[in-house]
Chain A
Amino acid sequence: MPSVRIPTPLRKLTGELEVVQAAGATIAEVLHSLDQAFPGLKERICDDAGQVRRFVNVFVNDEDIRFLEESATPVKDTDEISIVPAIAGG
């Protein structure tokens, strides 16, 4: 299963785990699996329409999914997914 790096603001929902495993062939499926394992996590990451929120960046390995296929971006079992707050830097 792909591994997912959890940002600090969401670790209260994962029992302070920094990295978790979540099944899925796309980012959307991985987020769904995460929500099954850690209820409430998806609504923090996605808005009411199911889209990744404006202030969240999701990376597959080193690539921002906005440069790939957004939530439909395919993922492999060996991929590392990072969820990172967008508000930083500058």
Chain B
Amino acid sequence: MKDRLEFHPWRALHGSTLEDGFSAMKSTPFFSNLKCRECGRLYPKQAIHVCDFDFGPLEAAYDYEAIGKVLSRKVIESRPHTMWRYRELLPIDGDPTVGAEVGFTPLIKADRLAKILGIRELWIKNDTVNYPTLSFKDRVVSVALSRARELGFEVVACASTGNLANSVAANAAAAGLKSYVLIPADLEQGKVLGSLVYGTQVIGIHGAYDQVNRLCSEIAGKYGWGFVNVNLRPYYAEGSKSMGFEICEQLGWRIPQHTVVPMASGSLLTKIHKAYKEFIQLGIVADTPFHMHGTQASGCAPISHALKRGTDIIKPVSKPNTIVKSLAIGTPADGYYAIHSMKQSGGSAEDVTDEEVVEGIRMLAEYAGVFAETAGGVTVAGARKLIESGHIGAGDSAVLCITGHGLKTQEAIVGKCGAPRLIAPNLREFEEKIYAPDAAAASI
């Protein structure tokens, strides 16, 4: 049985005809339908994302009874270290044909940062080194583009604040799909270049992300392209669950007491929450108490502000004003559900100023050795405030989800980390200006 379920991404990539595990999986409908989160109506597994009757989001539905018969810790541990080791819980029918190597990023125990933040135990889920484009978006794109191929799309596209554009561009290039990425025209240079280099069509829109998003919805409706976060969104969003699965496995098959997640649309937080619940339902982890916490930048914090007001009615932000462009979504699609995930789990939300974001980036770098983009600064600075306010107990354990690499948003910290000290290439100047042996000896 174990052999029949074993998954080899390289076989998938190179078209092996071997009678391997995937062949067995194809005939087993683990992923059964799309289902409206609001009214529960079932839909076929097509490129659709909202319910015809109430516009509620469609979500992948699974046959957990069938999954429970084949998926176990032992089976998962026997597979390659990628996000696809949990493939029964991801919504494609056949082999993953795009991004088969994505995921299983490090979970780092960050003792020095824990001490600075004032918490007993702290872990960093480090998606700054996710493959291939250094952000968690590689997870969602791997699922979305694999599904796009199954559905026969030849053109794929996205609305993006940067990281998603990078990942769609790279993975589409590798897969031989034509791609268009639509972004606000004022994004960081690293994120623009990080898309252009792959030969994708980069379309800069004179407007905020929400305007880009609306345009993409209209294009998707008119031209039928595979927009990963519009008509392929039910598949795309599920990819984020893999971050939650990995956290549990890397902690030794347990759910962390606290998980701190940056929020833009709110999707990542809801999907990590879903991952924890699925593992509990399947008996893969114990049903222990856990709390989901969300963080935003104060210049665009519609979800955090709603939760703090004690409501699930999101007041949209018409003009986001923050250096954290990757989280600058004024009308968050999953805000309502993110609020309910936080409330159901006894979690909380926090938002931080741009100055605190820069402090967060520096703390993460100086005390954990991880260089994160601005969203990472939001997570660290938000976690610090949640610990200070007692929402996360000082004696507890927490995981911080760090979602993108700092080289992508260098503008945020240029001039705020000092500058190199410049000297002539000789020992005399080194000893005069940099390191005086007598003074060093005296200080020992």
Listed in ascending order, the chain A residues whose CB lies under 8 Å from chain B are 5, 7-10, 12, 18, 44-45, 53-57, 59, 62, 64, 66-67, 82, 84-90
Contacts and interface: CB of A to CB of B under 8 A. Distances in A.
A89 B55 contact: no
B57 A59 contact: no
B216 to A, nearest CB: 7
B331 A57 contact: yes
A57 B51 contact: no
A85 B50 contact: yes
A82 B221 CA distance: 12
B214 interface: yes
Given A44-B55, A89-B159, 20 more contacts: A5-B218, A9-B50, A59-B214, A64-B318, A66-B316, A67-B318, A82-B214, A82-B218, A84-B214, A87-B333, A88-B213, A88-B216, A88-B220, A88-B227, A89-B212, A89-B216, A89-B230, A90-B229, A90-B333, A90-B334
Nearest to B58: A87
B318 A87 contact: no
Contacts of B316: 64, 66-67
A18 B332 CA distance: 26
A90 B52 contact: no
Contacts of A90: 229, 264-267, 329, 332-334
25 contacts: A10-B52, A44-B53, A44-B54, A45-B55, A53-B54, A55-B54, A55-B55, A55-B57, A57-B214, A59-B214, A82-B218, A85-B49, A85-B217, A86-B331, A87-B49, A87-B233, A88-B229, A88-B233, A89-B212, A89-B229, A90-B229, A90-B264, A90-B267, A90-B329, A90-B332
B336 interface: yes
Nearest to A47: B54
A18 B222 contact: yes
B106 interface: no
A18 B49 CA distance: 18
Contact of A7 (B56, B221, B233, B264): B221
Contacts of A82: 214, 218
A53 B222 contact: no
A48 to B, nearest CB: 11
A64 to B, nearest CB: 7
Main SS at interface, chain A? mixed
B180 to A, nearest CB: 15
Contacts of B31: none
A86 B57 CA distance: 9
Contacts of A45: 55
Interface in B36-52: 38, 48-52
A9 B48 CA distance: 9
The 10 A-B pairs with the shortest beta carbon distances in the complex, nearest first, are A90-B265, A89-B213, A55-B55, A87-B57, A8-B221, A85-B50, A88-B230, A9-B52, A90-B267, A87-B333
A50 to B, nearest CB: 14
B211 interface: yes
Contacts of A84: 214, 217-218
A8 B52 CA distance: 9
A5 B220 CA distance: 14
Interface in B182-221: 209-214, 216-218, 220-221
Contact of B333 (A8, A10, A53, A86): A86
Given A55-B50, A62-B211, A64-B316, A89 B265 contact: yes
A50 B394 CA distance: 47
A67 B50 CA distance: 24
Nearest to B330: A64
A60 B56 CA distance: 22
A89 B218 contact: no
A89 B38 contact: no
Given A84-B217, A88-B216, A9 B51 contact: yes
Most buried by A among B220, B221, B264: B221
Contacts of B218: 5, 82, 84
A79 B54 CA distance: 25
B52 A44 contact: yes
A90 B161 CA distance: 8
A54 B306 CA distance: 15
Interface in B67-118: none
A56 B50 CA distance: 10
A33 B336 CA distance: 30
B329 A89 contact: yes
- Give the interface centre of B51, B209, B217 by most chain A CB atoms within 10 Å: B217
Contacts of B217: 7, 84-85, 88
